[in-house]
Structure 1
Amino acid sequence: MRAFLLLGAAVLGLATSAQAFDTNAKAAWVYDVQTGTVLMEKNAEASIPPASMSKLMTLYMLFEAIEEGRVQLDTQLPVSTRARQMGGSTMFLNELDRPTVEQLIKGIIVLSGNDACVVVAEGLAGTEEAFARQMTERGREIGLENSSFRNATGWPNPEHRMSAEDLGRLARLLVEKFPQYYQYFGLAEYRFDDRAPANRFNRNPLLRLGIGADGLKTGHTQEAGYGLVGSAKQDDRRVIFVISGLDTEDARAEEAERITQWAFRQFTMRNLVPAGETVVDAPVWLGTANTVGLTTQNGVNVLVPAGAQDQVDVQVIYDSPLPAPIAKGDKLGELVVTIPGTRDTVTPLVATADVPEAGFLGRLKGAVMQLGQRAIDAVTG
């Protein structure tokens, strides 16, 4: 029998102010890292042209290559004529250059260098086409379900696509998996070999606003419009967001700041279940104990929109009774938190102790009690 235990609830009312937020972006995704909460989404799973924002996948592949020892930060890579001839944003490389991996990272992040991306692709995979295939394969492996890559730069191609959600998930991986390299995303300016001094500034409009912004990547093509994968940290909270399809550079800057301020000011943290606290004592069938505690591994913290503090619905769901044997740490149920304006938060519930299977007499006693209970239920039902 499926057991549903309502821990605390209030009648869900009208849309809160958090739900009332609307973005001018054609696609958007806003995510709180600490709680794993999607704060807002709009066309987030649609495959869209990512423009230079897909350079994040090129960087992800490069960071993995460094970690695997295939290249180091001081490894020098050759510049092909194909790389030098790349149009659009550039690092101003030529065939005589031998930029280091670290210089290429800065050139991709700050200058959005298409030439730098091709140098990386050719250096790691031989050709950009082979590298793009590797990007797509690796993207599938890390959970980018709506992404396919045809180049390393984000150059317009009808088959080069990512979703806003995939871009956000990739940004989270870059933040969490590569903290030693993530610092490069916060560079406000960079100039390679003193070239093109006017072209040294990072296009991320949030970096100079003092709101905790420290990454990640802008993008723009005629088809894609203006977009940004951004991240900011204030105190213990980090927010990652993706916007795409804005009409102008100024509109991108305004929307990025508006979303960042909203994400930090609109929500308050609420500790629903402290780490290690038993949520419920669940009945056990044919075990040496009649019940077992269910708990979360790390507690449950949620973000609650302003005005929705009394609109939090919490349910514990498990199959009752739980059959023995049970091992401590076994996943036996779920705690589901429903808050207006956000996706449900689902947290696994695990056993707090071992419950071995009862011996013959214990199983016999349990069976008799179960039959007796069924008889009582039949009479009273």
Structure 2
Amino acid sequence: MRHLISASFAFVLPILLALPVNAFETRATSAFIIDQTTGTVLLSKNADEMLPPASMSKLMTLYIAFEAIRDGRLSLAEKLPVSKHAMSYGGSTMFLDTTDRVTVEDLIRGIIVLSGNDACAVIAEALSPDGTEAGFARYMTRRAQQLGMTNSTFSNSNGWPQAGHRMSMRDLALLANLLISDFPSFYPLFSEREFKFDGRAPQNTRNRNPLLTLGIGADGLKTGHTSEAGYGLVGSAKQNERRIIFVISGLQSANARAEEAESVVNWAFRQFAVKPVAKAGTMVASADVWMGRDQTVPLVPLKDVSMLMPIATIDGDVKAEVIYNGPITAPIAKDQQIAELVISPPGLPETRIPLVAGNAVPTGGFMSRVTTVAQILLTQLNQAPVAPVEQGS
């Protein structure tokens, strides 16, 4: 039988009185905000819709380039040739031409800081299974699927408007998280504010990320803009021990993007905080035991548990319940997982915390079993429906 019991533990009560925060009203047409430290989704708006990602999709090209460097298939000092196809790109470029041979390091910096469409194509042709950017785009799509980005398809390496080039905001956030987690040695490049490549593009030397100069912990990752996609940003910021990752898209101007991105960061850090919820080994509740020496077993977490909680106090309490299928049949081993603590902060997804037996419960002796059976029979008798008394006419 599935049991639901309220969690009643004194040290949690001050937290459980934390009340819900107002939902963030973003001007972006699509958005996804996640607290990377705890994995808590703070906001999701049209997050799984496949949309034109513009230059934000350059992050996928960078991820594949970083993999190639890590695996020894590419080196930072290696110089790559520039094809006519790569040179043909307009928009934001490094102004490369076919006489150039450019180091991989410069190309990567050119993609991150200058958003170079031509630099992406050079990397793509170098790593493509068939030597073409189209072949690289097909590989990008397969690799994205392998990494869990199920709402992403690529037609080129740089986000140039093209049919079939689509990503969801959730996928972009997942990609940002992978870049931060898988390649920490490369990640500082995303906070580089200026890159003067060969002095040939003085009008395109500065990183377009509007948050890098604000002193709010922002350190990445990539802006994007086309007439179809609007203005977007894949951003990340870290304050103290917390990091957030966010994606916004569909803003109407660069100024609107800058204002919205700053508002997202301030909201995410000011309206939520990580709070202790349960201490390792401290009883949260107890579960009924069947045929055991003891009639109940304490339920405890194996390790200290903290959660992201809303700070604002408006309406409603955080809901906490313990769920288990019981009674639990003895014998029960100490630290055996037998229940879950389910905590549902208002406006945030529920969190499930495994609970284990706080002590061992061996099988009971003969009298213990007789007592258990007797208790069940009495319970069944007390719960049996009473037959109606017939009245005479």
Does TM, normalized by the shorter one, top 0.5?
yes
Q: Which runs of 5+ in 2 are unaligned?
A: 384-393
Deviation at 1:73, TM superposition (A): 2.1
Tell me the amino acid that sits aligned with residue 149 of structure 1.
F
The aligned counterpart of 2:133 is 128
TM-score normalised over the length of structure 1: 0.88
| 1:104-183 → structure 2 map (5 Å cutoff) | 104-125=107-128, 126-183=131-188
Give 1:80-99 correspondences, 5 Å limit.
Answer: 80-99=83-102
What residue is the counterpart of 2:318 in the other structure? Answer: 312
* Larger CA deviation: 275-284 vs 134-143: 275-284
TM-score, scaled to structure 2: 0.85
Instruction: State which of 59, 62, 65 in structure 2 corresponds to 1:56.
Output: 59
Partner of 1:199: 204
Aligned to 1:99, what secondary structure does the other structure show?
Answer: strand
Give structure 1 stretches of 5+ with no counterpart. none
Partner of 1:189: 194
* Alpha-carbon shift at residue 191 of structure 1 (Å): 1.9
Matched residue of 1:139: which SS?
Answer: helix
Per the alignment, residue 254 of structure 1 pairs with 259
Aligned to 2:271: 266
Residue 47, structure 1, aligned to residue 50, structure 2:
yes
Query: In structure 2, the residue corresponding to 1:243 is in which secondary structure?
Result: strand
Q: Which structure has the bigger radius of gyration?
A: 2
Letter of the 1:379 partner, please give it: L
Secondary structure of the corresponding residue to residue 219 of structure 1: strand
d(CA) in 2 for partners of 1:369 and 1:75?
79
Local SS of the residue matching 1:215: strand
What SS class does the counterpart of residue 77 from structure 1 fall into? strand
Question: What amino acid is aligned across from residue 380 of structure 2 in structure 1?
Answer: A
Q: Give the match for residue 68 of structure 2.
A: 65
Q: Which residue of the other structure, out of 217, 220, 227, is the alignment partner of 1:222?
A: 227
TM-aligned CA deviation for residue 190 of structure 1: 0.7
Relative to 1, partners in 2 of residues 1:58 and 1:284: Cα closer, same or farther, differing over 3 Å? Answer: farther
**Aligned CA distance change for structure 1 residues 53 and 357 (closer, same or farther; 3 Å):** farther
Q: Which residue of 1 aligns with 2:388?
A: none
Contact 1:288/1:355 (CA < 8 Å) preserved in 2?
A: no
Aligned residues: 374
Give the C-alpha shift of residue 248 in structure 1: 0.7
Match of 1:5 in 2: 5
- 2:301 corresponds to which residue? 295
The root-mean-square deviation of aligned C-alpha atoms, in Å, is 2.9
CA distance in 1, matches of 2:63, 2:222: 13
Identity of aligned residues (%): 50
Structure 1 partner of 2:236: 231
Asked whether the 8 Å contact 1:277–1:299 carries over to 2, the reply is: no
User: For the Cα contact (< 8 Å) 2:291–2:372, is it kept in 1?
Assistant: no
The match for 1:343 is: 349
Could you tell me which amino acid in structure 1 is paired with residue 91 of structure 2? G
1:373 to 364, 369, 375: 375
Relative distance call for 1:298 and 1:47 in structure 2 (3 A) is: farther
Q: 1:298 to 1:114 in 2, by over 3 A?
A: farther
1:288-340 CA distances to partner (integer Å, 9 max, x unpaired)?
87636441545132221311597211122222234567677665443222122
Partners of 1:225 and 1:72 in 2: CA distance:
35
CA contact (8 A) 1:83 1:115 kept: yes
Q: What amino acid maps onto 1:107 in structure 2?
A: G
SS of aligned partner of 1:205: coil
